[in-house]
Structures are given as structure tokens and as C-alpha cells.
């Protein structure tokens, strides 16, 4: 086959469309063992963490491969409302067998970058608390297409039931 014949042949080739992935669903019980879920209040998250989240490129790439199964938007809520909403959302996701969620809090900055939103200031502290209590395993800043710096990709621990 000559180069010209090959070029003519490749022009007529069409890409094969991939079949959509079908995820398995599992029956879950609505009972939650309270021994595994510690009672968490907003007051417990008042301690500031000096920890900076850092991952190697390889670790971050591996974490981002998981499909996002649920999303929550915390815009327009007070700090306390956002905390309680996020807490119940994460517990519900865990009992439902969800592995990866997105929490959108927004950047909370104006055009002059003069202030940072209250939820954005607190969400990493809350997530650290949820991590310590065993509800989540990890969290990273979401990729740009899912909200970038104004959203977090949260990895849920296996079912709490």
C-alpha cells in the first residue's frame, strides 16, 4: 500500500463512539451506627489548622480519576447552615455507598480580591474535622471544570453502616 492510498483510506475512517459506563447499584440500609459517626458540632471546628494540603502530581492525578457521583452547592448559606448541610450531605453519601462528591463553596472574592468568603475560609477546617472523625478519607481542590478553587473534591470513607 502506498502513502497516498493510506491517506485516502484514513480519510474515510470514522471514530467509534464509546459506550457509556454503567455503574452498579447496591441496596443499602438506612440505619446508621452512631458509634462510627461521632457527634460533630460547629464549635469543634473553631481550631485553626496550620496544615497545607499538598500532593504529588501522581497522587492528585490518581485521585481525580474517580467519577463524581454527587454535588452540593453551599452558596447563599450562613456559615452554620453550610456546615450542617455539608455534614448531613457527607453522612448521607457515606451511607449510600457514594465514593466521590463535589462541594461547591465559591471563592468568595470580589474583583479587587479584598475579602474571602466565610464558607471558603472554614471549609478546609471542617473537612479536616470530618477526616479525623472518619467520615471522609481525603479531599482536594476540584479541577477547573468542576469549580476550581471554589470547589472541593471529597472522597468518602466506605459505608458507615
Centre a 10 Å sphere on the Cβ of residue 149 and count the other Cβ atoms it contains. Answer: 14
102 beta partners: 71, 153
pLDDT at 28: 46
Phi, psi of 149 (to 5 degrees): -65, -15
CB 60 within 8 A of CB 140: yes
Cell numbers linked to 30:
438506612
Residues of the chain with pLDDT under 70: 19-66, 109-115, 159-161
- Give the model's pLDDT for residue 55: 54
The grid coordinates of residue 121 equal: 475560609
Phi and psi angles of residue 90, each rounded to the nearest 5 degrees, phi first: -70, -40
pTM over 0.85: no
CATH no. of 33-156: 3.30.1370.110
Over residues 110-122, the pLDDT tens digits come to 566 666 778 888 8
Confidence at residue 38, expressed as pLDDT on a 0 to 100 scale: 45
CB-based burial of residue 145 (10 Å sphere; 0-12 exposed, 13-18 middle, 19+ buried)? exposed
Q: At residue 70, what are phi and psi to the nearest 5 degrees?
A: -145, 160
The three grid cell numbers given for residue 104, joined into one nine-digit string: 461547591
Task: Quick: pLDDT tens for 130-157.
Answer: 888 888 888 888 877 777 778 898 988 8
Residue at grid coordinates 466521590: 100
Note the pLDDT of residue 10: 81
Domain boundaries, the chain: 33-156
The pLDDT value given to residue 48:
36
Amino acid at each position: 500500500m502506498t502513502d497516498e492510498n493510506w491517506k485516502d483510506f484514513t480519510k474515510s475512517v470514522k471514530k467509534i463512539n464509546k459506550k457509556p459506563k454503567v455503574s452498579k447499584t447496591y441496596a443499602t440500609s438506612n440505619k446508621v451506627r452512631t458509634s462510627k459517626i461521632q457527634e460533630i458540632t460547629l464549635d469543634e471546628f473553631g481550631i485553626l489548622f496550620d496544615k497545607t494540603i499538598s500532593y504529588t502530581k501522581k497522587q492528585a492525578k490518581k485521585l481525580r480519576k474517580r467519577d463524581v457521583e454527587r454535588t452540593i452547592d453551599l452558596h447563599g448559606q450562613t456559615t452554620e447552615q453550610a456546615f450542617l448541610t455539608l455534614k448531613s450531605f457527607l453522612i448521607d453519601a457515606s451511607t449510600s455507598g457514594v465514593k466521590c462528591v463535589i462541594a461547591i463553596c465559591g471563592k468568595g472574592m470580589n474583583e479587587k480580591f479584598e475579602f474571602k468568603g466565610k464558607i471558603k475560609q472554614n471549609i478546609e477546617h471542617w473537612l479536616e474535622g470530618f477526616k479525623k472523625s472518619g467520615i471522609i478519607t481525603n479531599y482536594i481542590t476540584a479541577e477547573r471544570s468542576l469549580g476550581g478553587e471554589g470547589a472541593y473534591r471529597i472522597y468518602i470513607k466506605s459505608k458507615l453502616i
